[in-house]
């Protein structure tokens, strides 16, 4: 099981993933893709975004950063994606997301891969 924590407090975001999505290569790939995309964005982030910590290792990832609206948008996008994965594969991924609006995994968009249970690629 991959346990994901996304939190926002005092202008600082922390995204953490621990464990493995055993039994669901798709969930593992999705979580990994989102975390690596965020790490890539942070490496090339606009001025004003501060990358405090980026650690990516098998079974343990942590990204901590701060900044203005651009950082908030990146954090919210990743949080929503992680929440949707947790909703789609709750036996493999659990997400605890706090302080970020729109990351509640209750509703998948109409026609989303979650509803169709297929990969859009």
Rounded Cα distance, 108 and 121, in Å: 18
Chain segment 84-97, per-residue pLDDT in tens: 999 999 999 999 99
The model's pLDDT over 2-50, given as tens digits with 9 standing for 90+, comes to 999 999 998 899 999 999 988 899 999 999 999 999 999 999 999 999 9
Q: Which residue has the higher pLDDT, 37 or 109?
A: 37
pLDDT at res. 105:
52
Query: Residue-wise over 32-61: b if at least 16 C-beta within 10 A, else e?
Result: bebbeebbebbeebeeebebeebeeeeeeb
Cα angle, residue 30 at apex, residues 44 and 47 outer, rounded to 5°: 15
Q: Which CATH class is domain 2-116?
A: alpha beta
């Amino acid at each position: 099981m991959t346990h994901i924590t996304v939190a926002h407090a005092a202008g600082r975001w922390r995204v953490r993933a621990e464990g493995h999505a055993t039994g669901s290569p798709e969930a593992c790939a999705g979580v990994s893709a989102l975390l690596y995309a965020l790490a890539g964005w942070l490496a090339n982030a606009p001025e004003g975004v501060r990358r405090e910590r980026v650690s990516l290792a098998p079974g343990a990832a942590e990204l901590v950063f701060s900044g203005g609206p651009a950082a908030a948008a990146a954090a919210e996008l990743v949080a929503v994606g992680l929440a949707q994965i947790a909703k789609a594969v709750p036996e493999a991924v659990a997400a605890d997301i706090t302080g970020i609006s729109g990351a509640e995994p209750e509703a998948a968009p109409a026609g989303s891969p979650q509803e169709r249970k297929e990969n859009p690629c």
